[in-house]
Structure 1
Amino acid sequence: MADLIAIGYPDETTATEAEREVQRLSRDLIIQPDAVAVVSRDTEGKFHVTTNHHAVAGGATWGMFWGLLFGLLFFVPFFGMALGAGMGALMGKIEKSGIDKNFQKEVRDMLQPGTSALFIVVEKVTPDKAVEAMSKFGGTVLKSSLSKETENALQEALHGQTTA
């Protein structure tokens, strides 16, 4: 089972600093993220997204996953994705993905103009060391679990194949 973790920060820059720490923790094998994204929202309310993800078995595209997820959470298309004929069905799968409505609402409420958030999809983590390293950034932590079935269903919908 993977976890989708969102950590919200009260300014536009802390999530980027925290993402660099996640990369360092990844090199030290304290956190083994499948995908990492930073979303900042400027004072005018415009979203800015930066992703850094690892290849998944079968060549899954995490960028597309983030785009769909952020489209669902914030009602805006990301990465220039056009909503085509199959997109409605795919959005339906994400809505039924186990990312509960309360998590979605909390993320939307947390990411107000002038703030940022770090998003991580992670299966393996050394909790005590990760918490110690990340605590210096503060922030509000939200977490939603993604079952292996949910991950597989999303990857299959995105690519016609499942993760191993």
Structure 2
Amino acid sequence: MAGTLTVWKFDSPTGADTAITTLEDLQKQELITVLDAAVVSWPADKKKPKTHQLNNVTGAGALGGTFWGLLFGILFFIPLIGAAVGAAVGALTGAMTDVGIDNDFIAQVKDKVTPGTSALFVLTTDATIDRVHEEFRGQSAELISTNLSHEQESQLREVFAD
């Protein structure tokens, strides 16, 4: 089964932190296999969000810090970097597109994850989708997701292997 990169957006800066517990419970019940995960928390009064990889849920993490750093850079920090790294960023965003993280996905996340919100980014397999949705009900979470083919998932791992 191919992996799914899922983004759950929450209407508060702490919503994603609360959702980590739900994710851990789902994994314990074997309703989902978490390969890697990260959280973005964006207090309303800050210019930039705080981001961190969830090593406690995933162990080593399938994608590693390089992937999350790049993804979050593209989503939240690139406009601040300037033109000097434009070509390098272009090449890396090309690699992201090859693995199913396209402009639509990026635009959707940028549009929805804003000051005063948070998001849980998760790479999973074997999800029992209806049960997962049930568990998140009541947490005012909005789902933004992209499905990866086997090929895209292995490309993603290859590109971002630490």
Taking structure 2 as the reference length, the TM-score comes to 0.81
Instruction: Please tell me whether residue 135 in structure 1 is matched to residue 137 in structure 2.
Output: yes
Kindly tell me the number of residue pairs found equivalent between the two proteins.
Answer: 152
Contact 1:97 1:150 in 2 (8 A): yes
- Report the equivalent of 1:71: 73
Indicate the structure with greater helix content: 2
**Per-residue deviation, 1:35:** 1.0
- Report the equivalent of 1:13: 14
Aligned in 2, Cα 1:91/1:103: closer, same or farther, shift over 3 Å?
A: closer
Letter of the aligned partner of 2:35 in structure 1? D
Letter of the aligned partner of 2:117 in structure 1? T
**Per-residue deviation, 1:91:** 3.6
**Distance (Å, rounded) in 1 between the aligned partners of 2:143 and 2:62:** 26
Contact 2:35 2:62 in 1 (8 A): no
- Report the equivalent of 1:37: 38
CA RMSD of aligned residues (A): 2.5
Give the percent of matched residue pairs that are identical in Structure 1 and Structure 2.
34
- Report the equivalent of 1:80: none
Contact 1:10 1:114 in 2 (8 A): yes
Taking structure 1 as the reference length, the TM-score comes to 0.80
- Report the equivalent of 1:115: 117
Question: What do residues 34-88 of structure 1 show as CA deviations (whole Å, max 9, x unaligned)?
Answer: 11111011222221112224357xx8542221111112222349xxxxx7x9776
**Distance (Å, rounded) in 2 between the aligned partners of 1:2 and 1:25:** 16
Contact 1:19 1:36 in 2 (8 A): no
Contact 1:39 1:50 in 2 (8 A): yes
Match for residue 47 of structure 1 among 46, 49, 53: 49
**Per-residue deviation, 1:147:** 1.6
Aligned in 2, Cα 1:127/1:108: closer, same or farther, shift over 3 Å?
A: same
Residue 54 of structure 2: SS of its match in structure 1? strand
Letter of the aligned partner of 2:97 in structure 1? E
**Distance (Å, rounded) in 2 between the aligned partners of 1:15 and 1:45:** 19
Contact 1:6 1:119 in 2 (8 A): yes
Letter of the aligned partner of 1:8 in structure 2? K
**Distance (Å, rounded) in 1 between the aligned partners of 2:160 and 2:130:** 34
Letter of the aligned partner of 1:74 in structure 2? F
Aligned in 2, Cα 1:159/1:119: closer, same or farther, shift over 3 Å?
A: closer
Question: What do residues 132-159 of structure 1 show as CA deviations (whole Å, max 9, x unaligned)?
Answer: 1111212211110112212222222233
**Distance (Å, rounded) in 2 between the aligned partners of 1:126 and 1:5:** 14
**Distance (Å, rounded) in 2 between the aligned partners of 1:86 and 1:110:** 26
**Distance (Å, rounded) in 2 between the aligned partners of 1:148 and 1:136:** 32
- Report the equivalent of 1:102: 104
Structure 2 residues not aligned, in runs of 5+ = 80-84
